[in-house]
Amino acid sequence: MKVTLYPTLAETLELHTRLIERFGGTKGVRDLGLLESALMRPQTGYYTSLSLEAAALLQSLAQNHAFVDGNKRVAFATTAIFLRMNGFRLRVDPDNGESFLIHRVIENKAEIEEIARWLEKHMQVI
């Protein structure tokens, strides 16, 4: 049985710093507990597939707003890294990804199953 790998708190904080430096925004964590909660959610054992775990991670990071700025960027990038750590590449046009994240995940509070289905359409085995 293959062991699932998960992004760590330190890796996610470093990613946030790099994304802010590259694309702009304000550095800083607004609520460390919300960040830790988002990172632990896929690890609960509740989710039955990698796509559901990835969906839980994306949803939590995007909706929890643990950072002062850059929450959507971190959510999308961390989810892509999580999938890559586990043998998949997320293949999606940046505009399509941003639109889905903003309009479905954040504004319309998409259910986890919808997010997982969207991710599955864009996951490619490495």
Domains and CATH numbers, the chain: 9-125 (1.20.120.1870)
In the structure, what pLDDT confidence band is assigned to residue 103 with cuts at 50, 70 and 90?
low
Least-confidence region, from 53-57, 88-92, 99-103: 99-103
Distance, in Å, from the CA atom of 115 to the CA atom of 118, rounded to the nearest integer, reads 5
Average pLDDT over residues 66-81: 94
Per-residue model confidence (pLDDT) at position 1: 65
**Distance, CA of 6 to CA of 40 (rounded, Å):** 9
Residue 108 has pLDDT above 90, yes or no: no
pLDDT at 95: 76
pLDDT cut 90: percent of the chain above it: 76
Handedness of CA 4, 105, 70, 46 (dihedral sign): negative
What was the pLDDT predicted at 75? 94
Average predicted confidence (pLDDT) for the chain: 91
Rg (CA), the chain: 13
* 97 pLDDT higher than 80: no
d(CA 60, CA 16): 15
d(C-alpha 83, C-alpha 75), whole Å = 12
pLDDT digits (tens, 9 = 90+) for 1-58: 689 999 999 999 999 999 999 999 999 999 999 999 999 999 999 999 999 999 999 9
* Structure-block tokens of residue 12: 């996610």
Higher-confidence residue of 74 and 104: namely 74
